[in-house]
Amino acid sequence: MNKAECLLLKSTIAQLFFAGFLVLAVFAIHSGAVLAAESEGKEVLEPGKVGHLEALVEKMIQERSIAKLGIELYGFVDLSYTQNFKNPFTKVNQNRIFDDDSNSFRVQLAQIVLEKEAKTGGPLADAAGFRIKLNFGEDAEFTGGSFSGDDVDFQEVYAQFIAPIGNGIDLRIGRMNTLIGYEVIESPYNLNFSRSWLFGFGQPFTTTGLRAAYNFSEKVSLAVGVINDFRGSISDNNNSKGVESALSMKPTDWLGLTAYGYYTGNSLNVGSHDGLLLGGGIIDIQALESTEIVLEAYYANQVNGRGNGQNTRWDGFAGYVIHDFTEQWGIRFRGEIFEDAHGGISCFGTNEKGGKPGSCAGGIGMPTTGPGANGQTLWETTYTLQYKPVPSLITRLEFRYDKSDEKTFLKGTKAVDNQETLAVQVIYLF
């Protein structure tokens, strides 16, 4: 099978997944309408009657059948334009993740979520739930943690049950957003348009496995998961399993603390069984009523990270300041330093137009000898102005300056040590 046939097959499979997703949603809606009508002694419309679909939709809206089943359908669309003032000849922003297209409009992500959240305090049936989160767009090619080339990805697919033990043990099995880190895949839930290197280079996006979470009180909670792979990819590259955890504490109304960690016997190298350890934390301070400060740092080490017997280490620190002038207007600032000490975690993308996250001026991988053999250290500052004309519409104007101690950026065709970008983002939530 040649490359074109493979891409066609992947596209067909993605379309079938989407069709099945819609069929599931319609089935849930239809079943809810029928059950609601029967339980209340109302007439159930039979298929084939004139105006059946229109009447069914109207009845669903009037009686809120989905709400009765506890099923929600929601999502967002995310669009952007990014200008790189260095005008790289590759049309790719170097050392970026989801904003790697330079001087170009981009369909970042369209996300659809079908969810029934498990709840306690009611019938046992309410303690069971599920979530299906489906992504479309250029970001979806990388939301699985590796560049798949597909613009469709099931970011989260899991079943949930809250065991009636103590305050309730929240059990989930499937693919879920990771417990590690402050930033997430979904742009509406981040402070800035572009992503930090702490998020994009050094931590998983999603993980697949079994997770248990428990709230000891309103101030202390713990989540622990047994998972397949650090990168979160659907496929598992060896027999080892990893463990991720997050301990969250809120000692006061203005202070939140989270300590997270990850350990696995497997490796970023396919088929290897070398250990990987990551540990870090987040401090969230509500300094004033309209001003918040967030600090995050972590350290990671991978045994035999480059496959030549040499360990790799990466670590970083990011600070955020959030200030809202009104419910509509606000500013967000991020300052960050990220160290890829041995060149094992950055420069993993290619310089091809169309979205290759993590690309560098020198191509894939840091050199093993000469300049850059010991990796790179990156600094960035990001300034974002946010305006929400209505609650469902988020607009952002962002300026970002990046710098490296190696020449991993491009100015035209020349390798340089910095880049500046200006981006406009529009998000609609539904």
Rounded to the nearest 10°, the torsion over CA 360, 365, 366, 368 is -160
* Residue linked to tokens 């600032």: 333
Residue 80 has pLDDT above 80, yes or no: yes
CA distances from 247 to 190, 258, 312, 374 (A): 21, 6, 26, 33
Would you place residue 365 in the very low, low, confident or very high pLDDT band (cuts 50, 70, 90)? low
Q: Which residue has the higher pLDDT, 397 or 47?
A: 397
Per-residue pLDDT at 303: 84
Per-residue pLDDT at 348: 80
Q: What is the pLDDT of residues 98-155, one digit of tens each?
A: 999 999 999 999 999 999 999 988 888 899 999 999 999 999 988 875 555 668 899 9
Q: For the chain, which residues make up each domain, given as ranges?
A: 1-69, 70-429
Per-residue pLDDT at 261: 97
Per-residue pLDDT at 21: 47
Would you place residue 69 in the very low, low, confident or very high pLDDT band (cuts 50, 70, 90)? confident
> Within 13 A of 258's CA, how many CA atoms are on the CB side?
18
Per-residue pLDDT at 137: 93
User: Can you tell me the mean pLDDT for 38-53?
Assistant: 46
Residue 398 has pLDDT above 90, yes or no: yes
Per-residue pLDDT at 173: 98
User: Can you tell me the mean pLDDT for 342-349?
Assistant: 84
- 199 burial type by CB count under 10 A (0-12 exposed, 13-18 middle, 19+ buried): buried
Per-residue pLDDT at 27: 44
Decide if 79 contacts 109 (C-beta within 8 A).
no
User: Can you tell me the mean pLDDT for 377-402?
Assistant: 98
Q: Which residue has the higher pLDDT, 48 or 140?
A: 140
Q: Computed from CA positions of residues 246, 251, 257, 259, in that sequence, does the dihedral angle turn out positive or negative?
A: negative
User: Can you tell me the mean pLDDT for 189-210?
Assistant: 95
202 phi and psi angles, rounded to 5 deg: -110, 5
Per-residue pLDDT at 384: 98
Per-residue pLDDT at 357: 80
Q: Which residue has the higher pLDDT, 311 or 144?
A: 311
Would you place residue 331 in the very low, low, confident or very high pLDDT band (cuts 50, 70, 90)? very high
Per-residue pLDDT at 310: 75
Decide if 343 contacts 134 (C-beta within 8 A).
no
Residue 417 has pLDDT above 50, yes or no: yes
Which stretches of 325-413 are assigned E, i.e. beta strand?
Answer: 329-340, 376-390, 393-404, 409-411
From 30-34, 147-151, 318-322, the region with the lowest mean pLDDT: 30-34
Q: How many residues does the chain have?
A: 430
Instruction: Indicate the SS3 state at residue 253.
Output: coil
Q: Which residue has the higher pLDDT, 168 or 27?
A: 168
Average pLDDT, the chain: 83
Q: Does domain 70-429 have CATH number 2.40.50.660?
A: no
Per-residue pLDDT at 300: 95
Q: What is the pLDDT of residues 282-310, one digit of tens each?
A: 999 999 999 999 999 999 998 877 666 77
Per-residue pLDDT at 393: 98
User: Can you tell me the mean pLDDT for 19-24?
Assistant: 47
pTM for the predicted model, two decimal places: 0.82
Give percent above pLDDT 70 in the chain.
73
Nearest residue to 144 (alpha-carbon basis) of 257, 14, 27, 322: 14
Per-residue pLDDT at 122: 86
**Greatest distance between any 2 Cα atoms in the chain:** 79
